[in-house]
Structure 1
């Protein structure tokens, strides 16, 4: 029998799973372990996505330096481009080292599913050996400082065309031979995987690891479409939805206390647009790639969470030179109640304070 959920309960399960309820997590590493990853994106209209996502959970005590320290000093988190995961789009992310063993077996066979990549690696095996030897000798190195000795260039209709060094590094990262050791500004430094990843990680066989990854993903989402989490958790029906859902049974029926948060456009609470519509009744689209005249909510509008509801979008930009958080508009999906309007205003002011900016509201 499927678990039957009304939409209020489904929303609360999702919010609580993403650590956006009133009980805040205690630090950046436990947070990433709960979420399973933080997406990295260079767009910083407000703040880099990973930092904004962390701030919305941890609050004003969060400092971006803590994320860098966990990545580059403590080695409790690691950066990867998720080309090895058929469920996750190929963007850069931070994952917890505690989950690394769930990926290593699959990574060892990478890139068996990526068309043309295996043949390209085989044709450029000498190039691969050159890069590994250089990293072994030099340690952490920027890609621009690695000679391109490819025999066969990488061919693509996109930006990766003829970007042989970067493409090789990302493919070798996908199978664990190299890893991101740190960053200098926005540029990654690369080293051998054996020097970045801790020794002694237990490798979980892929058949078991795939099941555990689905369970971890569902725990982080609370409730998800079956297509994203397989048979993890229990089958569920959601009031007003005809889709197949899976729910984390441990998340059902728990008490809920909400709060107000301004979310990154890349936040996992809103990333699945189908779930946003079906469960939250929330319409959203990142409009940064649209011409200004065609934007409804703004270049980098932040979804607004209030309690267990997504109630609007904030159009704001951090003007760091002027020291101002410019608030162009607060778009209310439905007219805000006075309590919600006050809470959203307080959260905007708190975000500005965390950014060390002064909020400036459009008249």
Structure 2
């Protein structure tokens, strides 16, 4: 049996699964942050600092009481660790064993990450960390030319190779610089370190994706996970046959969901709450999915030459009333404690401008505090006729 959802129902299901807009979490803030990471499965790490970095931004949108120190604290307590999801990410420690598939493939040479491994240098680096304890890339002296696309010194490449194949883990960060240590010294003793079978791995990928996203298909679940789609397809069929999953039709395309996920459709969505999202938010990371299900065609433009940018260097998608309705290019100036809104572009589908600006006005003070800003300046809107409404918010 195949269930059918309208586009609006699908968006509601997805937003509830993504914990957006955030409800005020009960209990301690640190526990709420860990709960969000475990529910979403990963939080992407990014270095761009036009505003607060993406990993902090994504968690702040799920836990309004989030503090930036909490990620370091959760790494230190062994509840969270850094590794690769579809990109560099913080992952729940309880899922550690599912990273071993990639690690073994890299260690065996079956899969390559960024760098061709320098086995001799890797052995030397590993020996130093074994003998001296945790080290950073800067602890390895190198006066030669930095090579490659990322201009990395050889020891940094060796550290990353050892990290990717599982010999090293990140025990913490100092001023955002990674501190590397032996995996056995970082891993909590109770963590399962057995390598999952292919069936276990496929079922984990399916469960994790559908828990965090409400509905999905094999293309989405296998996103940037090489050679996993056939296995995922097989287990999706098996899980439907075993009544673990439902087939769902959305916009004439087949998706899968847990039966219990449809209960979320009976839960009200906080439509009046507005959320200013990171470009690397879990909701947004698969752009084709956003275009198909939210009719939102998004491209992050910081990687484009300035003359090719339509919306701005770092435009932030805005969620309101169950839809992605705008994008706002922002810059936090730490010296002057000013949040600059370079460009607020409203989607043509949004007609209730007054309601939107009221919701934006309610959200901006919290967003400014999150970015350690006390002043707000607005430069441009699209349509241009809406600039007076935005400027009015800067004067409140």
TM-score range, shorter chain: 0.7 to 0.9
Q: Secondary structure at the match of 1:317?
A: strand
Deviations along 1:100-144, one digit per CA (max 9) or x if unpaired, are 1222355234344325989x54xx444332222210111110123
Of 239, 255, 280, the match for 1:245: 255
Unaligned runs of 5+ residues in structure 2 are: 27-31, 222-231, 237-244, 380-390, 392-396
Any unmatched runs of 5+ in structure 1? 149-153
Q: Paired residue for 1:137?
A: 131
Deviation, 1:9, is 1.1
**Cα drift, residue 324 of structure 1:** 0.8
- Measured in 2, the distance between the counterparts of 1:221 and 1:237 equals 15
- Normalised by the length of structure 2, the TM-score is 0.79
Q: Would you say 1:352 and 2:376 are equivalent positions?
A: no
The structural deviation recorded for 1:28 is: 1.4
Secondary structure in 2 matching 1:227? helix
Contact preservation (8 Å) 1:265, 1:271: yes
Task: Note the C-alpha offset of 1:329.
Answer: 3.0
CA distance, structure 2, for counterparts of residue 296 and residue 287 of structure 1: 8
Partner of 1:309: 323
Whole-angstrom CA distance in 2 between matches of 1:56 and 1:105: 31
Pick closer, same or farther for the CA change 1:110–1:199 going to 2, 3 Å.
farther
Partners of 1:19 and 1:57 within 8 A in 2: yes
Find the aligned partners of 2:49 and 2:119 in 1 and give their Cα distance.
38
1:130-184 Cα shifts (integer Å, max 9, x gaps): 2222101111101232367xxxxx996x336x74322222222222211112112
> 1:95 is matched with which residue: 74, 91, 97?
91
Question: 1: CA distance between counterparts of 2:328 and 2:113?
Answer: 43
> 1:115 and 1:209, CA in 2 relative to 1: closer, same or farther beyond 3 A?
closer
Q: How high is the TM-score relative to the length of structure 1?
A: 0.86
Q: Give 3-state SS (helix, strand or coil) of 1:12's partner.
A: helix
Residues 327 and 336 (structure 1), Cα distance of their counterparts in 2 relative to 1, 3 Å cut = farther
Instruction: State the Cα deviation string for residues 180-206 of structure 1 (Å, max 9, x = none).
Output: 121121321111011111123222523
- The residue aligned with 2:384 is none
- The CA distance in 2 between the partners of 1:256 and 1:249, in whole Å, is 18
**Deviation of 1:211 (Å):** 1.6
- Measured in 2, the distance between the counterparts of 1:43 and 1:99 equals 27
CA contact (8 A) 1:302 1:313 kept: yes
The CA distance in 2 between the partners of 1:211 and 1:201, in whole Å, is 19
Write the mapping of 1:193-342 to structure 2, written as runs, cut at 5 A. 193-202=183-192, 203-207=194-198, 208-229=200-221, 230-231=232-233, 232=236, 233-239=245-251, 242-254=252-264, 255-258=267-270, 259-333=273-347, 334-342=350-358
Return the alpha-carbon distance in structure 2 between the equivalents of residues 172 and 243 of structure 1: 41
The equivalent position to 1:68 in structure 2, one of 44, 66, 72, is: 72
The 3 A distance-change label for structure 1 pair 322 and 173 is: same
In the comparison of the two structures, how many residue pairs are matched?
A: 343
Of the structure 1 ranges 333-342 and 11-20, higher mean CA displacement relative to structure 2 is found in 333-342
Change (3 A) 1:116 1:177: closer
User: Which residue of the partner structure matches residue 104 of structure 2?
Assistant: 108
The aligned residue for residue 151 of structure 1 is: none
- Whether the 8 Å CA contact 1:7–1:238 is kept in 2: the answer is yes
Contact 2:4–2:250 at 8 Å: present in 1 too?
Answer: yes
Structure 1 equivalent of residue 140 of structure 2: 146
Report the Cα distance in structure 2 between the residues aligned to 1:321 and 1:65, rounded to whole angstroms. Answer: 21
Superimposed CA distance per residue, residues 340-361 of structure 1 (whole angstroms, 9 cap, x where no aligned partner): 2200122122201232312223
Deviation at residue 95 of structure 1 after TM alignment: 0.5
Pick one of 169, 173, 179 that aligns with 1:183.
173
Q: SS of the residue aligned with 1:284?
A: coil
Distance 2:372 2:103 in 1: 41
Aligned to 1:33: 38
Residue matched to 2:150: 159
1:25 Cα shift? 4.4
Distance 2:36 2:113 in 1: 37
